[in-house]
Amino acid sequence: MENILKYINDNRETFVEELKEFLRIPSISTNEENAGDVRKCAEYVKAQLEKIGLENNMILETPGHPVVYGEWLKAGKDKPTILIYGHYDVQPVDPVELWTDPPFEPSIRGENIFARGSADDKGQVFIHMKSIESHLKNTGKLPVNIKFIIEGEEEIGSVNLDNFIDKNKDLLKCDYVVVSDTAMFDHGVPSICYGLRGLAYMQVEVTGPNRDLHSGSFGGAVNNPINALAHIICKLKDDKGKILIDGFYDDVLKLTEKERSEYSKLPFDEKKYMEGLEINGLFGEEGYTTLERASGRPTLDCNGIWGGFQGEGAKTVLPSKAAAKISMRLVPNQEPDKIEKLFTDYVKKISPDSVKVTVKSLHGGKGAITPIDSPGMNAAVEAIKKGFGKTPVFTREGGSIPVVNTFQTLLNAPTILLGFGLPDENAHSPDEHLNLNNFHNGIISIAHYFNELSKI
Ligand code: BES
Ligand code: ZN
């Protein structure tokens, strides 16, 4: 390990410079106009896999953006096979005017590198690439068999990936899946994530009269779609944060007493949390703590709402249409398809006859939970201790990585979530960044992880 660690230390700056090239590619998967950039990014990833010494590297087509695959399978049949998963696509950058530097011109300020995708997830994918490079360049081998898949549609719900995995079960067969696409619990608190939430994302459209109307002539006599939509939204959740959709909680996997006790031991400072967000109070389901609400319990949020006049000044108008995007974060055992149906039925039930209401499902994904006592988890604990000098804590995350559930069901492989981002690194928001110490320690941890895994 000594020469591998020396290589990682000697190349600390070089690795950051190389990461910049990855971050310069605007691979925004949801934007049609960036489709060429997404493809270019897939080609970049394939070239990197080639460069670090993986074999059988290829771009595999899907009906959407492609998946990139590479492998190194010469560790021997007695060694475990590890499938590393990540994503090379990124979120849109708007509101772009709130970025200090342009989102695709990576800049280093203080201990951080700023760019869209730096934390979510290119920087974290790069950690794995550089750990592999460090092993192969210095010893000519890896301690375990490695398969690497990097997809281009995670930020749009991994819509084609389940099918891809189903069709490529042999290619992807493995003992463990390792994913770095989550955050550490806090600065200086490395963590291993054992649970993710699922998602059901809906759009509700409300149509009133066949055209915008003078609000003086018609107001009071014709239902206003914005008011009607506001009423519908208010009936989805009570003022204590409980979701009112019939049957919504039926399948929720309850938090165990043991889990709740572990949650309560995490080093969480509620006051600092509020200060960081500049809020005066917290809000959430009664009977649960902030950490439980944010990752172990389901929730419902309006993500966007529009309709009517949004320009400067006042325009007296009763609009013809209004709409909202509403997402529900789910917990394990809640099925997105079932929740979409319950949501649709409930919205139809509470909608007034005086407007037309349509409900669409945009995308969804299942939550996941992994046992924390597997040999792969124990090996991860050892690796993090070596990389960060601290024992990691176990956490659940509120975000979603839909494919994790698929890995567990289709490949029957436990997934280890070793995240090196931080909760305040602005993923999906302006000025996204990645802490460069965590980037460096992440490379060291993964290099150790391969060794630790070879012992199991
Ligand atoms: N890296 C995130 C997942 C994540 C978010 C982990 C927050 C830990 C904390 C991932 O790239 C992501 O954003 N996923 C989407 C999935 C969705 C589009 C199905 C999410 O959670 O919104
Ligand atoms: Zn993301």
Asked if residue 252 is part of any domain, the answer here is: yes
> Which residues are within 8 A (CB) of 356 and not within 5 positions of it... i.e. 6 or more apart?
206, 207, 208
Looking up tokens 């559930």 gives: 405
Q: Are 327 and 301 in contact (CB under 8 A)?
A: yes
Average pLDDT, the chain: 97
Task: Quote the ligand 2 centre to 427 CA distance (angstroms).
Answer: 6
If asked whether residues 328 and 400 sit together in one domain, one would say no
Q: What is the pLDDT of residue 98?
A: 98
Q: Is 154 a catalytic site residue?
A: yes
Q: Which listed ligand is nearest to 421 at the C-alpha?
A: 1
Catalytic one of 89, 153, 155, 382: 89
* Same domain, yes or no: 301 and 229: yes
End-to-end CA distance of the chain: 18
Give, as one character, the DSSP assignment of residue 14: H
The DSSP annotation for 111-169 comes to TEEESTTTTTTHHHHHHHHHHHHHHHHHHSS-SSEEEEEEES-GGGT-TTHHHHHHHTH
Q: How far is the CA of 451 from the centre of ligand 2 (A)?
A: 29
153 Cβ closer than 6 Å to some ligand 1 atom: no
Domain boundary among 363, 379, 412: 363
Pocket lining: 154 vs ligand 1, CB cutoff 6 Å: yes
125 lines ligand 1 (CB under 6 A): no
**286: confidence class by pLDDT, cuts 50, 70, 90:** very high
* Per-residue pLDDT at 230: 98
Domain boundary among 363, 382, 410: 363
208 lines ligand 1 (CB under 6 A): no
> Could you tell me if 357 and 394 lie in one domain?
no
pTM higher than 0.85 for the full model? yes
* 81 & 67 share domain: yes
Q: pLDDT above 70 covers what percent of the chain?
A: 100
State the Cα angle at 320 between 318 and 324, rounded to 5°. Answer: 105
Kind and range of the H or E element at 193? Answer: strand 191-196
Same domain for 236 and 169, yes or no, is no
User: Does residue 271 lie within any of the structural domains?
Assistant: no
CA nearest neighbour of 187 among 429, 400, 427, 390: 390
Q: CATH no. for residue 374?
A: 3.40.630.10
Per-residue tokens: 76: 């021997």
**Catalytic site includes residue 353:** no
Measure CA 251 to chain center.
23
- When divided into structural domains, the chain yields a total of 2
Ligand at minimal distance from the CA of 397 is 1
Closest Cα to atom 19 of ligand 1: 157
Distance CA 172, CA 415 (A): 13
How many whole angstroms from 141 Cα to the centroid of ligand 1? 33
pLDDT value of position 402: 93
Ligand 1 pocket check for 181: Cβ under 6 Å: yes
Distance 57 CA to ligand 1 centre (A): 26
Residue pair 67/161 in contact (Cβ under 8 Å)? The answer is yes
Segment 342-349 mean pLDDT? 98
Q: Which of 4-8, 25-29, 82-86, 369-373 has the lowest mean pLDDT?
A: 369-373
Reported as a single tens digit per residue, the pLDDT across 108-163 is: 999 999 999 999 999 999 999 999 999 999 999 999 999 999 999 999 989 999 99
Decide whether any atom of ligand 1 lies within 6 Å of the 423 Cβ.
Answer: no
- H-helix or E-strand spanning residue 109: strand 107-109
Domain C-terminal end among 321, 342, 363? 363
The atom of ligand 1 lying closest to the CA of 199 is 19
Looking at residue 250, which CATH number applies to its domain?
3.30.70.360
Which structural domain, as residue segments, surrounds residue 71?
2-196+367-454
Residues 11-56 have pLDDT tens digits of 999 999 999 999 999 999 999 999 999 999 999 999 999 999 999 9
Determine whether the shortest distance from the Cβ of 402 to ligand 1 is under 6 A.
Answer: yes
Closest ligand to C-alpha of residue 427 is 2
pLDDT confidence of residue 309: 97
Per-position DSSP letters for 366-401, written without gaps between them: --EE--TTSHHHHHHHHHHHHHHSSPPEEEE-SS--
Ligand 1 centroid to residue 189 C-alpha, Å:
20
| pLDDT above 90 coverage of the chain, percent | 98
- Whether 262 maps to a domain, the answer reads no
Are residues 20 and 125 both part of a single domain? yes
pLDDT, residue 115, reads 98
Select which of 154, 181, 382, 397 is catalytic: 154
pLDDT at 148: 98
Question: According to the model, what pLDDT value does residue 202 have?
Answer: 98
Could you tell me which of 120, 66, 65 has the C-alpha nearest to residue 93? 120
